[in-house]
Structure 1
Amino acid sequence: MEPLKYKDLLISFTTEFTQLWNDKGTRAKQAVTFWRPSTSADHLTPFYSLGDVAVGDYQNINQHKIVAVVSEVDKDNGTALRMPDDFELVWKHSGPRVTTACSVWRPIAPNGYVAMGLVCGVGNDKPPRSTLRCIRADLVVESQADALIWNDKGSGALTSFSAWTVAPPLASPGEAVLAPGTFAGAGSYTKPRLQPTAYALRIALTLHYPALPPEPAHWRPGPESAPSAYELPWFTVKDAVLSPVEQLQSSPIYRLERTDRHALFASERNETDSSKIVNWQSPKGESYNYSLQLKTLTGIEISGEWAANTPASALNFSARLDSEFTHGSSTHGWGNMTIVEVIVYVPANQYVDAYITKSNYTLLRKDGSQSGPELGYFSEVKLHFHEPAEQVPAQTVEPEALPPAAETTLEVATHDVSDNTLVP
């Protein structure tokens, strides 16, 4: 896959690991195995680990677990990554039950950089500085320890230790934040609480946003727009037919496409010398409630933030789409269809056409196949006033089927003649 890019940082993923140590024979109450991400594959040269991986069992994680690895956009003069200045000891397995020594170390990052995870030493030896890379602080966000992976209770070690997963914070609109798969740790059995206890990577969600379709003239329906689309990294999508590893390999990027079409639904000809008021009804909001189905099937929250809802082989993340793409700033949102009463003041000897914009959303895999249902959203009502000389013979336009009116509520919209728009 092509690496993800955030500023001058490249982010890729590995499914290959080298086992470092497990706690078999220590009589610890829980199981743990420590692994080191491998970047020996040709497409990962030169990428670097951000820290080791702790797993609460003895299973082989190769080709089953995924972690992030990083590189520089500028391989020669880049400043996104630096080796740690040193390491400080967090824990070592020393005591009467030691069969194979193990130690855990916290990297000490250079000024302006942060360490993303802990690493294991060979025996009690300090790891070499080249074991991992630290990341420049503007490329990450502060995070916190989340779920317990392992502690050494019962192991006979002379000091205490616990390892924890990392929970990213709430993502900003148009961005994803990703825990790389490393672990946080403490020399105690208590969850680390001093902030920050860990960090997550920042990833900008790529949005391709062409111009909206031209407005239709009178009763002639306008053309459909070219699709605007968000490119969503594989780890932000739960796929019913692909495992996370299969997603990484066959569909590393998903496209959430939006197409817009103006649909005219009403027209009034005032051929008198007096003004008049007309009333129309227009749908507003989501057509049907497929956004809930999309969230259930793919994990994607169309109007808000969504987080990891995938197997343990995947990564912890938070993601959010921009509100302009999702109509998120609309008064009536997703999962809520209303019928708006449109009250229009038509001046003497004027014609007016009313139309709405329908946005359709489709989630596509790399091969073009669809994942989850298609969504529809009716947004604002717009009016087009014109003189009788501009008249075009009216055509019969049948609106598309809408959800039953019984499922909606009635709302009155006012009209401002000066700008020829509705204010819902």
Structure 2
Amino acid sequence: MTTENSNTSAGQPEPIRCDNLLISFTSEFHRVWDSRGSGAAVGSFWRPAPAPDLLPGYFPLGDLAVTGYDNVNGNRIVAVVCEGETSNDGASQGKALSPPMDYERVWRDSNSGAAADCTVWRPLPPAGYVALGFVCSNGRDKPLLNAIRCVRKDLVIPASVGDLIWDDKGSGARQNFSAWNIDPPQAAAGEIYFAPGTFFAAQSHSRPETPIAYALRMQMPRQTLPAPVAPKLSGYGAPPEPEPAGVTQTVRIPWFAVSDHLLPEEQWRTSAFYRLERSDQYVLAGYGHNTSERPRPFKWRALRTQNSQMLQVFSILTSIEVATAWPPKPSNGARAIRFSAHLHKDFTYTETSSRGWEDARPLDIVAMAAKNKAVAIYQIQSFYTLKRADGTPVGISIGYTDDESLYLSEYPPETDSTLTFTPQLATEPFASQGPADNESEDVDTASQPMREEIRVTDSAP
């Protein structure tokens, strides 16, 4: 997934691009019908109306159902879609959008007593396409085929019915009717699933048991930059501090998946995308110089940068969950865009488990140095910062120490290698507040066994 500006008027936020599908947003609507006079609860239907001069070529995916009669213009925001250019690699499977072939009536408000007539229609898509919403009419006639668009099936994902928006209980209509929110499933790693703001219609007052509903799907665009080069010892003296952290990976997250304490339209126009940057650096976990004529072990205690309280604060301020999908469950309240998002697991070090983010206990590291050898152990620390489109940060930065990979360097050099191992968690209190205790500690191997499951060793005599 990429983004582009070619189909967007000047000053408009850039759209989301999924293959040849362009997705933007609008907060402009036309009122189609409301329940005044019917005896039912207050409710109304609205047609998204993207301004032709601002969003030329964009269409709704269905109508909006809301509880209440208040004007929703400027207060609600929904997705609208446009046909984009086919990608250069020719991977597109045909046009992204198609008008429906026809409509099937779901509800007619006969005998409801409402001040105006209403019918609700299910779009019937052509083969290979799906409808993501229902369409209303303030009369008995079918909506125009050009009123909405259906989406190519590979660009969507099956979704479920969420909470009730409105039903016609008490209206006296001959047919029962209810309108429901659409909730996307939990996203796979590296993806976002989101409902465009449409509704699901049922010919009853009960929750549909087997609804055929869909949500849009997109991958989170990621940029990968060169990783830092592992330091190497160049002499027997204590090594210098490694290079400072540099951005190595960036993930772009659409505005609706981030909390930024702004109204939805204001947030969309302020920062259509946010950048979650990961900066990596090597840090020295331990250094030792064996001046004796016999191999000897060195022991260090290294601290981690992750902090469960800081992680919680980051999630509260941004809504982003680093280790799992977010939001954790569908919301029962009105939300700008209903979604589920999940960061790439290799971006967040959660390929095997997310528990590392909650464990800040220090690590004991033991390295065996051959005679007349200097050894140094390095860890990778990663720092995560969320930024708006203008580069200003959101919330706080958080850190993570990669304990799955340690890098050993020795002088004189014989073997430099990346060591993958199961670290030994420290069980005793440790007073240092720095990232590592770099003072080596002699270990009496005769009286104190090493506690690491795998140790850095050198078998030279």
Q: Displacement, 1:27? A: 0.8
Contact 1:238 1:310 in 2 (8 A): no
| Aligned residue among 395, 400, 403 for 1:372 | 395
Name the stretch that deviates more: 8-17 or 334-343: 334-343
Task: Provide the rounded CA distance (Å) in 1 between the counterparts of 2:165 and 2:458.
Answer: 60
Amino acid at match of 2:434: A
- 3-state SS of the aligned residue for 1:372? strand
Output aligned runs, 1:39-78, within 5 Å. Answer: 39-74=50-85
- Residue 395 of structure 1 is matched in structure 2 by none
Output aligned runs, 1:30-109, within 5 Å. Answer: 30-74=41-85, 79-95=95-111, 97-109=113-125
- Residue 20 of structure 2 is matched in structure 1 by 8
- Residue 132 of structure 1 is matched in structure 2 by 148
Name the stretch that deviates more: 165-174 or 94-103: 94-103
Contact 1:305 1:318 in 2 (8 A): yes
Task: Provide the rounded CA distance (Å) in 1 between the counterparts of 2:217 and 2:457.
Answer: 45
Contact 1:285 1:379 in 2 (8 A): no
- Residue 453 of structure 2 is matched in structure 1 by 414
What whole-Å deviation, never above 9, does each CA across 1:363-413 have from its counterpart, x for those lacking one?
Answer: 1112222211110111135243323489xxxxxxxx96369xxxxxxx954
- Residue 188 of structure 2 is matched in structure 1 by 172
- 3-state SS of the aligned residue for 2:267? helix
Name the stretch that deviates more: 18-27 or 288-297: 288-297
Q: Displacement, 1:99? A: 2.8
What whole-Å deviation, never above 9, does each CA across 1:73-132 have from its counterpart, x for those lacking one?
Answer: 138x95111111111110011116243110000011111110000001230111111111
Amino acid at match of 1:318: S
- Residue 238 of structure 1 is matched in structure 2 by 259
Task: Provide the rounded CA distance (Å) in 1 between the counterparts of 2:60 and 2:413.
Answer: 71
- Residue 217 of structure 2 is matched in structure 1 by 202
Q: Displacement, 1:234? A: 0.4
- Residue 361 of structure 2 is matched in structure 1 by 338
| Aligned residue among 213, 228, 234 for 2:249 | 228
Amino acid at match of 2:120: V
Output aligned runs, 1:269-284, within 5 Å. Answer: 269-284=289-304
Contact 2:36 2:114 in 1 (8 A): no
- Residue 408 of structure 1 is matched in structure 2 by none
Task: Provide the rounded CA distance (Å) in 2 between the counterparts of 1:412 and 1:25.
Answer: 78
- Residue 441 of structure 2 is matched in structure 1 by none
Amino acid at match of 2:383: N
So what's the TM-score if we normalise by structure 1?
0.89
- 3-state SS of the aligned residue for 1:54? strand
- Residue 406 of structure 1 is matched in structure 2 by none
- Residue 401 of structure 1 is matched in structure 2 by 434
Q: Displacement, 1:311? A: 7.3
Amino acid at match of 2:453: T
- Residue 407 of structure 1 is matched in structure 2 by none
- 3-state SS of the aligned residue for 1:333? helix
Q: Displacement, 1:278? A: 2.0
Change (3 A) 1:70 1:328: same
Task: Provide the rounded CA distance (Å) in 1 between the counterparts of 2:281 and 2:76.
Answer: 43
Contact 2:366 2:456 in 1 (8 A): no
Name the stretch that deviates more: 306-315 or 110-119: 306-315
- 3-state SS of the aligned residue for 2:396? coil
Identity %: 37
- 3-state SS of the aligned residue for 2:59? coil
| Aligned residue among 376, 381, 392 for 1:358 | 381
Amino acid at match of 2:277: E
Change (3 A) 1:42 1:64: same
State whether structure 2 residue 56 is matched by structure 1 residue 23. no
Amino acid at match of 1:371: V
- 3-state SS of the aligned residue for 2:119? strand
Task: Provide the rounded CA distance (Å) in 2 between the counterparts of 1:259 and 1:400.
Answer: 21
Amino acid at match of 1:204: Q
Task: Provide the rounded CA distance (Å) in 2 between the counterparts of 1:309 and 1:163.
Answer: 16
Name the stretch that deviates more: 59-68 or 272-281: 272-281
- Unaligned stretches of 5+ residues in structure 2: 1-12, 87-91, 234-238, 415-431, 437-449
Change (3 A) 1:412 1:328: farther
Name the stretch that deviates more: 36-45 or 50-59: 36-45
Contact 1:68 1:180 in 2 (8 A): yes
Task: Provide the rounded CA distance (Å) in 1 between the counterparts of 2:14 and 2:117.
Answer: 39
Change (3 A) 1:92 1:212: same
- 3-state SS of the aligned residue for 1:315? coil
Contact 1:80 1:135 in 2 (8 A): yes
Task: Provide the rounded CA distance (Å) in 1 between the counterparts of 2:268 and 2:332.
Answer: 13
Amino acid at match of 1:110: P
| Aligned residue among 408, 411, 417 for 1:387 | 411
Q: Aligned-residue CA RMSD in angstroms?
A: 2.5
- Unaligned stretches of 5+ residues in structure 1: 391-398, 404-410
Q: Displacement, 1:280? A: 1.4
